[in-house]
């Protein structure tokens, strides 16, 4: 029996052609980016307010628990949604199986989290960890209970509803976290926000994608056949990227870990997390053109160029403004967070250029290649990070992350893209040259402005420095990008051309309205 929602949406998809798919992808991208901006601002506002109310130790305690949760979620990630997107003709049995597997996974993780809480109390010597672990253990069960039909909205690039739900979840998380933190002046504010953020999508999934729960394992082999390498890739990736959180807390203490975690979260939130949601658009879009390698290569390079044009200045710009921004938003007790942002944000910005790699691999069914890439990265990253932390403390850890997450991962991604698409390393890097030149000019302009503010200890100085550096640096980047685009002959296959066309349409509409 066919899925009624899937069938209905499929009928709305333009027949045959690339133009319909491309138009829907552009619209979906606009919705996703709009939602990303809103949710990241809400998350940033929550972090700023909570940092004023709570202490670094509070963030460190909850970060320990959420690190364990994220690792367990990644280890058991079956990528059920991606499997349903990948299968163009998914039926009711497939959705029932996805729902059943999701519920079983949620119950399993809930039990493991509660058990792990008892272990962590003994390891870290803090009895508060058990209650925190038990409280946030409901999140994976909430995710497993969501309507499996909800994924059809993303499958057919209907992201307006998805983004509205995610935005509402971000607002509820902000309100719940701040309200509880303000009332209790404890880490329970952060925990309340984590739980509240999972409640909205659970309820909304059944409102917008109605589903009568039915347990079945009929399509388990089919779904796991796609998901097994994704799960292994997630397992290796999370071990490599998250293990240092547990080590830092044990070696340097929860206060240092809390500051490190906040700095890392801000850097990630305003760079990678701001761009990664676009993978949800890239994946279903690439699936439609996967059989045409020429179109796939062209689409991937457009994605590379656009992502880098946004991600690189975000990462580098955030590093340039980190000191006054942290002083202004978080206060003097979070100075260490500024150091983390200064070193990590540029690396995360550079990595954004490979944001579409996973989407291409999923579209081509090359999930085993993703696993092998993550395996190589983790095999190098773990000993390098441990050595850096052991010999040079937090500074050594941050440098190790630059080497393993910046240099090594970039090389591995260049090799993977070449294998999947045939694009050489030079062809991949060449599409980013205008962004590289523009970023260099932005750095020079921002540093010149920063020299005008020798001290940012007072709020007024920090505010002036943040605004001035952001404004001058941003203007220098945009102006340089536009100039080099004009000097290059206005290539049509670029983000500048897309923005120029959008600006032209917008001004044309205003002109017609004014003359009407």
pLDDT for the residue 274: 65
Which alpha helices (DSSP H) does 145-275 contain, by range? Answer: 151-155, 159-184, 188-208, 220-252, 254-269, 272-275
Where residue 233 falls among pLDDT bands split at 50, 70, 90? confident
Please say whether the beta carbons of 351 and 409 come within 8 A.
yes
Region of 213 on the Ramachandran plot (φ > 0 left; ψ -120 to 50 alpha; else beta): beta
Please say whether the beta carbons of 301 and 491 come within 8 A.
no
Please say whether the beta carbons of 145 and 103 come within 8 A.
yes
Mean model confidence pLDDT for the chain: 85
- Give the pLDDT confidence of 444-485 residue by residue, as tens digits: 999 999 999 887 878 888 999 999 999 999 999 999 999 999
The two most distant CA atoms of the chain are separated, in Å, by: 74
| pLDDT at 326 exceeding the cut of 50 | yes
3-class secondary-structure state, position 188: helix
- Give the pLDDT confidence of 100-153 residue by residue, as tens digits: 999 999 999 999 999 999 999 999 999 999 999 999 999 999 999 999 888 777
Please say whether the beta carbons of 175 and 129 come within 8 A.
no
- Give the pLDDT confidence of 269-298 residue by residue, as tens digits: 888 776 666 666 777 778 878 888 899 998
Least trusted range by pLDDT, from 85-94, 102-111, 208-217, 327-336: 85-94
| pLDDT at 363 exceeding the cut of 70 | yes
Q: How many angstroms separate the CA atoms of 278 and 113, rounded?
A: 30
pLDDT for the residue 31: 63
pLDDT for the residue 166: 86
pLDDT for the residue 414: 93
- Give the pLDDT confidence of 203-224 residue by residue, as tens digits: 999 998 899 999 999 888 877 7
Q: Where are the domains of the chain?
A: 27-250
Which of 393, 369, 157 shows the shortest CA–CA distance to 282?
157
């Amino acid at each position: 029996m066919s899925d009624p929602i899937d069938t209905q949406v499929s009928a709305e998809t333009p027949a045959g052609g690339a133009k319909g798919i491309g138009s829907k992808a552009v619209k979906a991208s606009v919705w996703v980016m709009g939602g990303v901006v809103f949710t990241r601002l809400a998350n940033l506002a929550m972090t700023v307010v909570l940092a004023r109310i709570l202490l670094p130790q509070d963030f460190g305690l909850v970060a320990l628990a959420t690190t364990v949760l994220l690792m367990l979620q990644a280890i058991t990630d079956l990528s059920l949604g991606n499997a349903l997107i990948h299968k163009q003709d998914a039926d009711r049995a497939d959705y029932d199986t996805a729902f059943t597997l999701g519920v079983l996974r949620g119950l399993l993780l809930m039990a493991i989290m509660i058990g792990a809480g008892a272990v962590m109390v003994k390891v870290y010597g803090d009895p508060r960890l058990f209650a925190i672990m038990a409280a946030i253990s409901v999140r994976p069960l909430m995710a497993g209970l969501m309507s499996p039909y909800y994924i059809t909205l993303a499958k057919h690039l209907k992201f307006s509803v998805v983004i509205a739900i995610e935005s509402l979840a971000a607002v509820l998380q902000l309100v719940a976290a701040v309200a509880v933190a303000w009332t209790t002046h404890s880490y329970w504010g952060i925990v309340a926000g984590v739980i509240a953020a999972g409640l909205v999508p659970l309820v909304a999934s059944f409102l917008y994608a109605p589903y009568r729960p039915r347990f079945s394992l009929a399509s388990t082999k089919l779904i796991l056949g796609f998901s097994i390498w994704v799960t292994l890739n997630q397992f290796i990736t999370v071990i490599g990227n998250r293990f240092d959180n547990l080590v830092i807390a044990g070696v340097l203490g929860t206060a240092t870990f809390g500051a490190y975690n906040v700095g890392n979260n801000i850097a990630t939130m305003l760079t990678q997390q701001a761009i990664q949601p676009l993978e949800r658009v890239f994946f279903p879009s690439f699936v439609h053109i996967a059989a045409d390698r020429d179109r796939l290569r062209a689409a991937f390079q457009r994605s590379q160029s656009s992502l880098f044009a946004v991600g690189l200045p975000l990462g580098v710009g955030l590093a340039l403004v980190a000191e006054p921004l942290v002083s202004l938003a978080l206060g003097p007790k979070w100075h260490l967070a500024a150091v983390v942002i200064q070193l990590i944000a540029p690396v995360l910005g550079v990595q954004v250029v490979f944001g579409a790699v996973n989407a291409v691999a999923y579209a081509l069914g090359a999930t085993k290649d993703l696993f092998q890439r993550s395996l190589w990265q983790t095999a190098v990253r773990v000993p390098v990070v441990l050595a850096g932390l052991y010999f040079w403390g937090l500074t050594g850890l941050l440098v190790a992350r630059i080497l393993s997450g910046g240099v090594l991962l970039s090389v591995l991604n260049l090799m993977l893209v070449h294998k999947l698409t045939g694009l050489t390393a030079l062809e991949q890097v060449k599409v980013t040259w205008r962004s590289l030149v523009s970023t260099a000019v932005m750095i020079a302009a921002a540093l010149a402005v920063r020299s005008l503010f020798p001290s940012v200890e007072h709020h007024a100085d920090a505010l002036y420095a943040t605004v001035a550096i952001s404004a001058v640096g941003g203007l220098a980047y945009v102006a340089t990008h536009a100039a080099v685009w004009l000097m290059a002959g206005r290539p049509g296959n670029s983000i500048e051309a897309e923005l120029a066309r959008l600006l032209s349409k917008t001004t044309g509409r205003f002109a017609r309205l004014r003359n009407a």
